[in-house]
A and B are shown apart, each in its own frame.
Chain A
Amino acid sequence: MANLKTIKRRIHSVQSTMQITKAMELVASSKLRRAKERAEAAQPFFEATYKLMAEIAAEDPYFNSQFVRKRTETGACLLIVIAGDRGLAGGFNSNVLKIAQNRIQEIQKQGGNPIVLPIGQKAVDYFQNKNIKILQSYDHIAEHMHIYLAMDIAELILTTYQRHESLQSVELVFTNYVSPILQVAQKMNVIPLDDFPGTSPRHCAVEYEPSAEEVFDKLVPRYVASLIYGAVVESFAAEQASRRSAMENATDNATEMLDQLSLLYNRARQGAITQELTEIVSGANAQQ
């Protein structure tokens, strides 16, 4: 009898867990839809900005912006790490933090000084406990990400880069939303801007006002801002997708467990009835 009770209790507990995971799955999939739209809408601006920068760089043979020049290898590196604000999203947070951690160790091995700019509660918590220098941290911004905030962050990054000659590069670790079932955490370089590939120098002259350099320097903060904006909304979409599939799995597992448990429960119940019957019958037999 005691066995029956414990099984029943377990069934209840699995059921209530399943309710939660199912609700989380639904919430994540509705958030995912919106986040995906935002991530897609951010694409054209980023591409147009990048293309124009690449054109300017390709056209002007004397082009030499401070953001393109490679600096001497000091090993110092600013790492922008974008993770989620909440857990329970499968491997989402740990994947992105693992890449960041690997990069930090690499920098430290070369004798460099890593600085981090964490975005998202999970990233902030992680680096606070790690005793790594934090430039500035941002949490709970992803869901309502705004371009002006991205501009502020971009400005902070660029002024930091300009002020510290020893800072070798600025890198970004975020999660790329590939498909609802595939999200890839990855690292990319922000500054110095990579050599722009794929632009032919065949361009005829473009008239720049006031000048090509000034247009370029105006573009850089916008480029960085739209990069950060894009990475944040993309990571947010990836987080939701990751959470959705994690919760889907959890719900499936719970269903499976419930099946097994109810089988076990029925068996135990039947066993109890059989036993009771045997007891009655044998009791009756003894009376005769």
Chain B
Amino acid sequence: MNTYRLVILTPDKILFDEQVVQLIARTTEGDVGILAGHIRYAAILQTGVLQLKLPDGTTKTAAESGGILKVSDDKTTVMVTAAEWAEEIDPDWAERSRQDAIAKIEAAQNEPHRLDRANLKLQRALNRLQVSGHGTGRVSPPLKKKK
């Protein structure tokens, strides 16, 4: 299988910079899969899941909170506001932020601007919960107990 260099960037760190076989990401226009030799391409990513297929055949899953996907000749770059590996997500924390978001949504009923933001926050929390909980079968035991 041909591989290519994938870089996942967030404002506070480089999450990933290695060779991969395939990346599946959710853009605003639908899911895309990027293989080696893809044409130059740029798209907006929704809050969602990044699925990576590594050269050794394993997969890795990460939750991301929206950003840009860019394919250039030498590498593919994912620039997102936040990203965590599925196994590194703390489900308690994600659950707390879900409840926090719900509380914020209730508090912001009359303020569309704050409501939007709270909705986004809820989306992120739900996404994290989903990725950590029912991701791709790479769930660590303590997470399962929680469900």
Interface residues of A (CB under 8 A from B): 38, 41-42, 44-46, 48-49, 52, 56, 147-148, 150-152, 204-210, 212, 214-215, 218-219, 222, 225-226, 229-230
Contacts and interface: CB of A to CB of B under 8 A. Distances in A.
Main secondary structure of the interface of B (DSSP, over half): strand
B44 A214 contact: yes
Contact of A208 (B9, B43, B117): B43
Nearest to B27: A209
Interface string B16-31: 0000000000011100
Contacts of A205: 40
29 contacts: A41-B13, A41-B14, A42-B12, A44-B7, A45-B11, A45-B79, A46-B11, A48-B9, A49-B68, A49-B79, A52-B79, A56-B42, A147-B81, A148-B81, A148-B82, A205-B40, A207-B40, A207-B41, A209-B29, A210-B28, A210-B43, A210-B44, A212-B42, A215-B43, A215-B68, A218-B44, A222-B67, A225-B81, A230-B11
Interface string B40-59: 11111000000000000000
A99 B39 CA distance: 46
10 tightest A-B contacts by CB? A209-B43, A206-B40, A45-B9, A147-B11, A226-B11, A45-B11, A207-B41, A209-B29, A218-B44, A41-B13
B14 A210 contact: no
Contacts of B10: 45, 147
B39 A207 contact: yes
A198 B10 CA distance: 24
A49 B12 CA distance: 13
B70 interface: yes
